[in-house]
Structure 1
């Protein structure tokens, strides 16, 4: 049945705010920033077309190489660390006890807590002389505890640790939702067959949770490329760019150095890398994700 002209106009009017918002705040900025990546523009100067010069500069820059390595290192810590911890917490809290709701809320609370408040607390924990962590290590007999945020070897792992602590509750909730869709009779059958808890975990829980794990993996990969607030508040990318990741490097070039064209090129390289990893994950999805 064809819609009348009045119905079509009414539908368009209702859709107009969403369509206009999508164009103004999404599609037009995406296209404009892609075009900007081919220009040399310092905001207050006239844009100058430079072609692929920004991209060539990125691939030739030792600083950019270091930032890419930092980003890969951060992802290597954050993605498996957050997913593994979230899975463990979800399994432990997947029961009917009344106290489980309290613990679920407690683990989810950091995710909705202000990042500034989180980083202020963790800066005190990581403090070299008066921090809770180093005092605890000293109590265990560890001498010369690291200066977590001032040591190039520990700054990025410290940022990754705080990021995992803040986000793990969100991933836990997603995995917990997946766990609650698993038929309990499957566990009963495995128990009758003599399967131990660890065997039930790897033979029943993990295979039936792979769809949720795949979804969480994609989210964690995306999140690992967007680390900014925690880096900015904890280390400001230091020391000596040891904790500078790609998203923070984009911010520095765009809003500190005002190299808008270079920052736009960095952004599109980041999007390309993220898209490539996402496609690879979708390609291998059939090999380990059980849809049944």
Structure 2
């Protein structure tokens, strides 16, 4: 053993000790508040857990069978599909447009970037209440109905009319306002990584600025960013809860329409019946659906595929 072995071993122990000093609290919190509840939820899904988190009546896959045959749960998945069909392409196009505009600004770019990103720091609950009570209020004094009144239109009960389903306009616009700035930042980071020489070469070759350059230069170079944005948007759509619950629920409860999976599971597990076993089974099914959809989207969009 060399003379340097002792100090080297002490330095290694010191690095290990400092590693656990910094990482240990985070790892402990992650285990206690994330992984332990997750594992316990999976365990509860195999028991008849009415009003208890320590059940003894093992029912096997009965909870899963009940959830997959429940029309209300299946309808909540269809609600998610409708919400995703609205919010994913809308947010993608809007955030990309914002990024392209901000990227072209030569002065006060940081100002515009901050202004468009600011809504991302707003609480979903607060934004939903503002949309419900001020912007899309069902009375004639709401902002949307005031604008309609200027053109001679009648007030619309935005959140209670189901034919046509105007509530989708309210839900989609509040989510769009909240998250477009965040994804704009992602697109801005991707745009700033594009080599300016590509645009110069395209101009020399006669490419017209605008749609042609966007289609053949910008979008292909943003492919990795676009894949990440689409996957995040789909996952976020699965997890929608705050805006749905705070926009549509009232003193009478939640209406039978537009219930996303998390709202349905909330009422199943914490509602009047408090069937935690059934709610846990639904949560496991939803997690598996998210995983399958995410992996499927990633493979279809080529996430991780080596560029040629």
TM-score by length of 2: 0.85
The answer as to 2:32 corresponding to 1:10 is no
Could you tell me how far apart the structure 1 residues matched to 2:118 and 2:262 are?
A: 25
Partner of 1:120: 129
Q: Can you give the 5+ residue segments of structure 1 that lack an aligned partner in the other structure?
A: none
SS across alignment from 2:60: coil
Q: In the alignment, is the contact (CA less than 8 A) between 2:224 and 2:303 conserved in 1?
A: no
Q: 1:25 aligns with which of 27, 33, 39?
A: 33
Q: In the alignment, is the contact (CA less than 8 A) between 1:151 and 1:239 conserved in 2?
A: no
* Structure 1 segment 65-214 matched on structure 2, within 5 A: 65-123=74-132, 124-128=134-138, 129-141=140-152, 143-144=153-154, 146-152=156-162, 153-196=165-208, 197-214=210-227
Deviation at 1:290, TM superposition (A): 7.7
Report the CA distance shift for 1:225/1:286 in structure 2 as closer, same or farther (over 3 A): closer
Report the CA distance shift for 1:156/1:249 in structure 2 as closer, same or farther (over 3 A): farther
SS across alignment from 2:99: helix
Could you tell me how far apart the structure 2 residues matched to 1:65 and 1:157 are?
A: 23
Report the CA distance shift for 1:191/1:146 in structure 2 as closer, same or farther (over 3 A): farther
Q: CA offsets per residue over residues 196-238 of structure 1, 9 Å max, x none? A: 2110001100000011111111111111111111112111297
Q: In the alignment, is the contact (CA less than 8 A) between 2:119 and 2:178 conserved in 1?
A: yes
Report the CA distance shift for 1:138/1:108 in structure 2 as closer, same or farther (over 3 A): same
Could you tell me how far apart the structure 2 residues matched to 1:79 and 1:244 are?
A: 18
Could you tell me how far apart the structure 1 residues matched to 2:175 and 2:218 are?
A: 26
Larger radius of gyration: 2
Could you tell me how far apart the structure 2 residues matched to 1:45 and 1:20 are?
A: 22
Deviation at 1:113, TM superposition (A): 1.4
Give the root-mean-square deviation of aligned CA atoms.
2.6
Q: Can you give the 5+ residue segments of structure 2 that lack an aligned partner in the other structure?
A: none
The answer as to 2:64 corresponding to 1:52 is no
Q: CA offsets per residue over residues 75-106 of structure 1, 9 Å max, x none? A: 11111111111111111110242233222222
Q: In the alignment, is the contact (CA less than 8 A) between 1:74 and 1:224 conserved in 2?
A: yes
Q: 1:224 aligns with which of 237, 255, 266?
A: 237
Partner of 1:253: 268
Could you tell me how far apart the structure 1 residues matched to 2:20 and 2:114 are?
A: 41
Could you tell me how far apart the structure 2 residues matched to 1:261 and 1:178 are?
A: 44
SS across alignment from 1:191: helix
